Structure 1
Amino acid sequence: MKKLTSLTIAAPLLLAASIAQAEVSANFGATSNYLWRGVTQSADGASVSGGLDYSNESGFYAGTWIGTIDWGIGNAAETDLYLGYSGEADGFSYDVGYVYYAYLESEYDGSDFGELYFKGAMADFNFSIAYTINSDADDAAPFGQGDLYYSVGYEFALSEDYSLALTVGHYDFDVDGALDADYSHAQLDLSKGDFTFSVSKTTDSALSDDDLKLVVSWSTSF
């Protein structure tokens, strides 16, 4: 009985400590052009977004993000669901997880897919790798199982208020047939507070054009 009483007293204390160590945050954003890995998801038009994130001191996190998209057949929404673990060792930051992309009302069958990702950073350098492990797409279409995306980046502070980031990435699609979907892209981001000005360029492919894109974005979290 004494043991049971001790557990009864300790349980609320442990729960309170767990809640205190956990953090829930929300984010909102707007952009003049929603670019994802260099390619517009909003027909070169404006997009708004919002999300919720949970994290705790162990490094575990989970969240969801919703943004408006336009693939040329009317407005729709992208919903991302993700979970992962992040940490740091000897100056190296890492983040490993899974994300599922769902495209609601997109009118494109086979659009949803999920991927495993790993991100790393040390000093001002960073990199990422993402591998598609499940997809509704068939073997002849991009964003199917076996696709690989990777990028490298460099970010540094210009002053107390401004930072500059450069990202170079490549999307390697595991597509059966003659569709030339692979592409590379580069993006330069100048940020001040909640605002970012971006210059983006991709190589020409079945999924992208080589037009230079100038984008202004705003985001905040609390």
Structure 2
Amino acid sequence: MKTLKLSVIAAAVLTTAGFSQLAQAEVSANFGATSNYLWRGVTQSGNAPSLSGGLDYAGESGVYAGTWVGTIDWSGDDSDTKGAEVDLYLGYGGEAGDFAYDVGYIYYYYPSTGYEDSNFGELYFNGSVGAFGFGVAYTINSEADNDAPFGTGDLYYNVSYGFELPNEFGLGLTYGYYDFDTPTSESDYGHFQIDVTKGDFTFTVSKADEESGSDDTNFAVSWGASF
């Protein structure tokens, strides 16, 4: 499901520097670790630590592509269910005055035993004006049942706002809402997230509606670096 890299690190890029970095970079690698891999308000690692890494290419035109791999555990109570998430993405980012935008496609691939029929893709659009960010993702080519969550036709919306704090700290606020294309709206849920950043570290507090499967307040400490 959604990567730490794209949901937290890219959100910080949107709210601070836009996408001007795309014109400066060519090939980069990243590595990260988190005490709890959270995606759209829900743990993907069974409330346990997760490691990740990836490679990215960004051309001067604004076109970018990359891959990211992270460890997951959707059950959280059985070592046999530990697996990997592999994300493949291609997109284009640019700026028009104060408006920064990013449009692309991402495919979530789960190669491990026990995660069959979980793969799906998303078309996404993200934008920002100053410190305000927003985005929408639409699920396509999903292997899940179309009448079940994460099937083709799902929509995810989010809005965010970033603040600069003293001593080079940063504060990010995000609200997201998952609108599943199912016969009823019983699975739809919203979630709220607070991210406090300092250098390569992020402290996250996240809470989702009970329709997500858990309304517990989740905490995570994450570290990530690119080179």
- TM-score bucket (shorter structure): 0.7 to 0.9
Distance in 2 (CA, whole Å) between partners of 1:91 and 1:37 is: 27
Structure 1 vs Structure 2: percent identity of aligned residues?
62
Distance in 1 (CA, whole Å) between partners of 2:209 and 2:105 is: 27
1:175 aligned residue: 182
Distance in 1 (CA, whole Å) between partners of 2:167 and 2:105 is: 34
Query: Greater relative contact order (Cα 8 A, min sep 6): structure 1 or 2?
Result: 2
Distance in 1 (CA, whole Å) between partners of 2:111 and 2:53 is: 15
Distance in 1 (CA, whole Å) between partners of 2:163 and 2:24 is: 30
Runs of 5+ unmatched residues, structure 1: 1-19
Distance in 1 (CA, whole Å) between partners of 2:206 and 2:150 is: 21
1:218 equivalent to 2:226? Answer: no
The amino acid across from 2:168 in the alignment is: D
What TM-score, normalized by structure 2, do the two folds share? Answer: 0.85
1:106-185 to structure 2, matched below 5 A, reads: 106-176=113-183, 180-185=186-191
1:87 aligned residue: 94
The amino acid across from 1:169 in the alignment is: G
Distance in 1 (CA, whole Å) between partners of 2:112 and 2:138 is: 25
Runs of 5+ unmatched residues, structure 2: 1-22
Give secondary structure in 1 for the equivalent of 2:182: coil
Q: Cα distance 1:126–1:21, how it changes in 2: closer, same or farther (>3 A)?
A: closer
| CA positional deviation for 1:22 | 5.9
Q: Cα distance 1:58–1:165, how it changes in 2: closer, same or farther (>3 A)?
A: same
Distance in 2 (CA, whole Å) between partners of 1:48 and 1:160 is: 28
Larger Rg: 1
| CA positional deviation for 1:214 | 1.2
The answer to whether the 8 A contact 2:110-2:116 is kept is: no
Q: Cα distance 1:92–1:34, how it changes in 2: closer, same or farther (>3 A)?
A: same
Distance in 2 (CA, whole Å) between partners of 1:190 and 1:165 is: 6
Of the structure 1 ranges 179-188 and 158-167, higher mean CA displacement relative to structure 2 is found in 179-188
Distance in 1 (CA, whole Å) between partners of 2:167 and 2:59 is: 29
- Runs (4+) of structure 1 moved beyond 6 Å? none
1:12 aligned residue: none
What TM-score, normalized by structure 1, do the two folds share? Answer: 0.87
1:25 equivalent to 2:31? Answer: no
